[in-house]
Structure 1
Amino acid sequence: MGQLFSSTPKDEDHGDLESSFAEYFKNYKEEGKIISEETVRLIELHLKQGNIQGANSAISDALKNIDTVPINVAVTGESGAGKSSFINALRGVKHGEEGAAETGVTETTMEITPYKHPKIKTLTLWDLPGIGTMKFPPKDYLEKVEFKKYDFFVIVSATRFTKHEVDLAKAIRHMGKNYYFVRTKVDFDLENEKMFKPRTFDREKTLNQIRSSYLDALRGNKIGEPRVFLISNRDSSGYDFPGLVDILVKELPAQKRHNFMLSVPNITEAAIQRKYNSAKQFIWLEAMKDGVVATIPGLGILKDNDVEKLDASLSHYRVLFGVDDESLESMAKDAQVPVEQLKKNLKSPYLLETKNEETLGGKLLKYLENFASANGGLLATGLYFRKSFYLQFHFLDTVAADAKVLLREAYSKN
């Protein structure tokens, strides 16, 4: 694909580049940025000094790190607590599907078992045996599970947290890593409470009582400021599941945040929006690296390899946001409706289709003109990128909107 800009930026453009870059990242809160503040400042410094090569090198390093850095999540807890179901829910994998963690009423985890995320290859969730089992006694537990490799620990219980798990949390905190207490099967507690106290049942009051009992018990065991999340593995969009995901994303290092956000199932519109914001930053950084100057791009003919790359980009976004053909077929099967019924309100499956005399290149250029016109350049930054990046933004916008349409339809049927 040919470069659409004039040659190397002029000196007077360097300030514009630095200003535009800084302004763009002001749009995101610290916990939502996919590169660290240190990296942002380094890139700004290079741009201020007119060192475009240095800026591009810093961006390249950051993008490579995001793409390759491993994310390891440890999940531990008592037998029958729902660890495997929690891992499946966090990966967006249904029980019984290929690659799903094995679930059961008895202890199914006697070995340390890794589960790769089906879409994000750098993310692994580790199903750890409960502390205190014969092969993993408390005094050897952290060493045997290779404590250092995990980004954080999720300690799961369906009843109460044992002394072993409380001591584990203290050891994790002492070693400077994050841990989160997760109380599963809270939906069963509510069902039982409603059954036995139908006249006085109050959902929120019951949830607050459960949460308070855990917080009091943990504080009594000298766990300072404990965080307990009440969840149901059968309903990842309800209870504290979305709040847990928010905290996990927020407290990860910036370079690991992007892929973890992309891994989260479309449990809420907020989750979809976070994925969209993260993917948008990634595209923007790639475009920035590819070369920018403050000049309006020409709308030349798209070459065949341009179209192929854009097709691959669209497919990638559809998979990440769960609106690809395979995901739609699975959703249609679950909802017992024809897949065409799900597709009728979506736009992304048809973005690259053409009719009559219309050419694909011509259609893409029309999208580009409309998108650039509507956005006043690129996101009002004053920067102009290769035409393919404008189209990637358009594809991302369309796919994210489709994901929200599907989520709203799913809610309307519940």
Structure 2
Amino acid sequence: MLRASALEIPELDLREMGTMIQSRVVVEVSGQVQSLLDSLETTTLEIAVTGESGAGKSTFINALLGLNDGDHRAALTGVIETTTSPTPYQHPHLPNVRLWDLPGTGTPCFQAEKYLRQVGFESYDFFIIVASERFRQNHAELARAVGAMGKRFYFVRSKVDQDLRASQRRRPARFQEVQVLREIEADCIHQLRNEGLASPKVFLVSSFELHKFDFQRLQDTLADELEGHKRHALLLSFPSVTAAAVQKKKDSLHRHIWKKALLACFVSALPGLPIHLNIPMLMRTLLSYHRSFGLDDESLGALAVTASKPHRELKDQVCSALGKDLSENTVQAILSQAAVYGQVAARLVKNKVPLLDNLVAGGVSFVAAYYLLHTALDSFAQDAQRVLGRAYELEDEVQGSLCYPPEPGFIYD
């Protein structure tokens, strides 16, 4: 018979066994979380923009990309048709998002089905059909063919800023902007219904003033009708030109904070790995947030040109610590501050269950990383609203987006 003492396992062996089990679990779960993030970040979004020559397709594409016409990455613009074959324009910060400038549709022998086959209709997630004056038979024919092939389509009535100025010159005493916009929309819907479309979706847009008119409604509609990761890609790719757009972008990014925080947790939970290995991953995430809200110098410069404001004046509206100094030192300071919140609980757990030393360290890292990313999203969103307020002289945005520290209960949001 074996004596009881022979069945006793030394405490050192127990620790080694616990460490081995923890390491295997951490590696497996971290791999699954990384796979989720890879799927999110590699999702493609292909947007087709079409319409007749001179409708402003290329200018609209550049506005969506946040690029000025003179940028070497921008779509070519001009008074004559410059697009003879489908031309992709990659988003400046999101390589998996592309807008396609399709050849014009206004030829006498236009045939929608043939046109769609030529441009490879199956490649696109949806179609935006642009017109600057009237929607014609070609537009309706194209929309019907797109719908018959299982794709969504949306009508954008461009250059409404020019229509408003012309209307004001014609009837200065009776001019009412809201009334003119209603008349333009009603006329567009009437034109398309006359061509046999029952419920056309029409959005009035100015590519030079995206913060006005129906651009936000267009973005909301597109987001509502896209699913999962493609919806996230759309929200990140479209420029944040209204407070509503900033909030939607923030909400979409916030849903995925826990995945980044878990990765930080797993690095700290693996024995022998230094905690500072989290910093490069967190820096990449913060830089992507910073660009998404248009706070990088390139985006601020493009907005300054569009809004005719000095670049320095817009940059001065960025008042958060991370917005002004997105450096490893600043990140490390915030992480250290957040880690203090978990130290007391960590010591208690370690004293009770010594085998969980590494997992407790990972838990503290999770809290710290979550706090950092949550704080960054809040502060970047506030900075973005202040920048927009100054760019477009929106006093409510400037005064209503002061920089406040996050609430203590942030982790339960």
Question: What are the superposed Cα offsets for residues 233-288 of structure 1, whole Å, 9 maximum, x if unpaired?
Answer: 11011011111111111111212111211111121011111111111112223435
1:252 corresponds to which residue? 226
| Amino acid in structure 2 at the alignment position of 1:406 | V
1:395 corresponds to which residue? 376
Q: Which moved more, 1:277-286 or 1:158-167?
A: 277-286
2:186 corresponds to which residue? 212
- Residue 147 of structure 1 deviates from its aligned partner by 0.8
- Residue 175 of structure 1 deviates from its aligned partner by 1.8
1:16 corresponds to which residue? none
Query: Are 2:68 and 2:302, in contact at CA under 8 Å, matched by a contact in 1?
Result: no
Query: For the residues of structure 2 that align with 1:359 and 1:236, how far apart are their CA atoms?
Result: 34
Q: 1:336 aligns with which of 285, 310, 313?
A: 310
Query: Are 1:371 and 1:390, in contact at CA under 8 Å, matched by a contact in 2?
Result: no
2:349 corresponds to which residue? none
1:44 corresponds to which residue? none
The reply to whether residue 243 of structure 1 matches residue 233 of structure 2 is no
- Residue 157 of structure 1 deviates from its aligned partner by 0.5
Query: For the residues of structure 2 that align with 1:177 and 1:190, how far apart are their CA atoms?
Result: 32
| Amino acid in structure 2 at the alignment position of 1:254 | G
Q: 2:337 aligns with which of 352, 363, 366?
A: 366
Query: With CA pairs under 8 Å and 6+ residues apart, which has the higher RCO, 1 or 2?
Result: 1
Query: Are 1:129 and 1:136, in contact at CA under 8 Å, matched by a contact in 2?
Result: no
Query: For the residues of structure 1 that align with 2:342 and 2:105, how far apart are their CA atoms?
Result: 55
Question: What are the superposed Cα offsets for residues 34-68 of structure 1, whole Å, 9 maximum, x if unpaired?
Answer: xxxxxxxxxxxxxxxxx999987775554332222
- Residue 335 of structure 1 deviates from its aligned partner by 2.0
- Residue 386 of structure 1 deviates from its aligned partner by 5.2
Distance change (3 Å), C-alpha of 1:154 and 1:191:
same
- Residue 307 of structure 1 deviates from its aligned partner by 3.1
Query: For the residues of structure 1 that align with 2:315 and 2:365, how far apart are their CA atoms?
Result: 39
Q: 1:80 aligns with which of 31, 50, 54?
A: 54
| Amino acid in structure 1 at the alignment position of 2:384 | A
Q: In structure 1, the residue corresponding to 2:84 is in which secondary structure?
A: coil
Distance change (3 Å), C-alpha of 1:133 and 1:394:
same
TM (norm. structure 2) is: 0.74
Query: Are 2:52 and 2:131, in contact at CA under 8 Å, matched by a contact in 1?
Result: yes
- Residue 341 of structure 1 deviates from its aligned partner by 5.9
Q: 1:284 aligns with which of 258, 263, 266?
A: 258
Distance change (3 Å), C-alpha of 1:306 and 1:157:
same
TM (norm. structure 1) is: 0.74
Query: Are 2:83 and 2:102, in contact at CA under 8 Å, matched by a contact in 1?
Result: yes
- Residue 186 of structure 1 deviates from its aligned partner by 0.9
Aligned pairs, number: 351
After TM superposition, the structure 1 = structure 2 runs for residues 181-196 of structure 1, keeping only pairs within 5 Å, are 181-196=155-170
- Residue 136 of structure 1 deviates from its aligned partner by 6.8
- Residue 337 of structure 1 deviates from its aligned partner by 5.2
- Residue 220 of structure 1 deviates from its aligned partner by 2.0
The reply to whether residue 180 of structure 1 matches residue 159 of structure 2 is no
Q: 1:308 aligns with which of 270, 280, 295?
A: 280
Q: In structure 2, the residue corresponding to 1:412 is in which secondary structure?
A: coil
- Residue 367 of structure 1 deviates from its aligned partner by 4.5
| Amino acid in structure 1 at the alignment position of 2:393 | S
Query: For the residues of structure 1 that align with 2:131 and 2:60, how far apart are their CA atoms?
Result: 11
Structure 2 alignment gaps of length 5 or more: 1-18, 345-362, 396-413
| Amino acid in structure 1 at the alignment position of 2:287 | S
1:345 corresponds to which residue? 319
Q: In structure 2, the residue corresponding to 1:239 is in which secondary structure?
A: coil
Query: Are 1:181 and 1:227, in contact at CA under 8 Å, matched by a contact in 2?
Result: yes
Distance change (3 Å), C-alpha of 1:401 and 1:269:
same
Q: In structure 2, the residue corresponding to 1:271 is in which secondary structure?
A: helix
- Residue 164 of structure 1 deviates from its aligned partner by 1.6
Q: In structure 2, the residue corresponding to 1:97 is in which secondary structure?
A: coil
Question: What are the superposed Cα offsets for residues 311-348 of structure 1, whole Å, 9 maximum, x if unpaired?
Answer: 33322221221112443455567523536962663432
Query: For the residues of structure 2 that align with 1:93 and 1:146, how far apart are their CA atoms?
Result: 26
Distance change (3 Å), C-alpha of 1:161 and 1:370:
farther
1:105 corresponds to which residue? 79
Query: For the residues of structure 1 that align with 2:77 and 2:66, how far apart are their CA atoms?
Result: 15
Query: For the residues of structure 1 that align with 2:258 and 2:130, how far apart are their CA atoms?
Result: 38
Question: What are the superposed Cα offsets for residues 286-327 of structure 1, whole Å, 9 maximum, x if unpaired?
Answer: 4357779xxxx9xxx984433333333322221221112443
Query: Are 1:93 and 1:100, in contact at CA under 8 Å, matched by a contact in 2?
Result: yes
2:237 corresponds to which residue? 263
Q: 2:291 aligns with which of 300, 306, 319?
A: 319
Query: For the residues of structure 1 that align with 2:283 and 2:36, how far apart are their CA atoms?
Result: 25
| Amino acid in structure 2 at the alignment position of 1:150 | Y
Query: For the residues of structure 1 that align with 2:219 and 2:121, how far apart are their CA atoms?
Result: 22
- CA RMSD for the aligned pairs? 3.5
Query: For the residues of structure 2 that align with 1:302 and 1:339, how far apart are their CA atoms?
Result: 41
The reply to whether residue 129 of structure 1 matches residue 103 of structure 2 is yes
The reply to whether residue 120 of structure 1 matches residue 94 of structure 2 is yes
Query: For the residues of structure 1 that align with 2:302 and 2:132, how far apart are their CA atoms?
Result: 30
1:94 corresponds to which residue? 68
1:221 corresponds to which residue? 195
Query: Are 2:388 and 2:394, in contact at CA under 8 Å, matched by a contact in 1?
Result: no
Q: Which has the higher helix share?
A: 2
Distance change (3 Å), C-alpha of 1:214 and 1:325:
closer
Query: Are 1:364 and 1:391, in contact at CA under 8 Å, matched by a contact in 2?
Result: yes
Q: Which moved more, 1:306-315 or 1:399-408?
A: 306-315
| Amino acid in structure 2 at the alignment position of 1:364 | L
Query: For the residues of structure 2 that align with 1:360 and 1:67, how far apart are their CA atoms?
Result: 23
Query: Are 2:314 and 2:390, in contact at CA under 8 Å, matched by a contact in 1?
Result: no
Query: For the residues of structure 2 that align with 1:171 and 1:177, how far apart are their CA atoms?
Result: 9
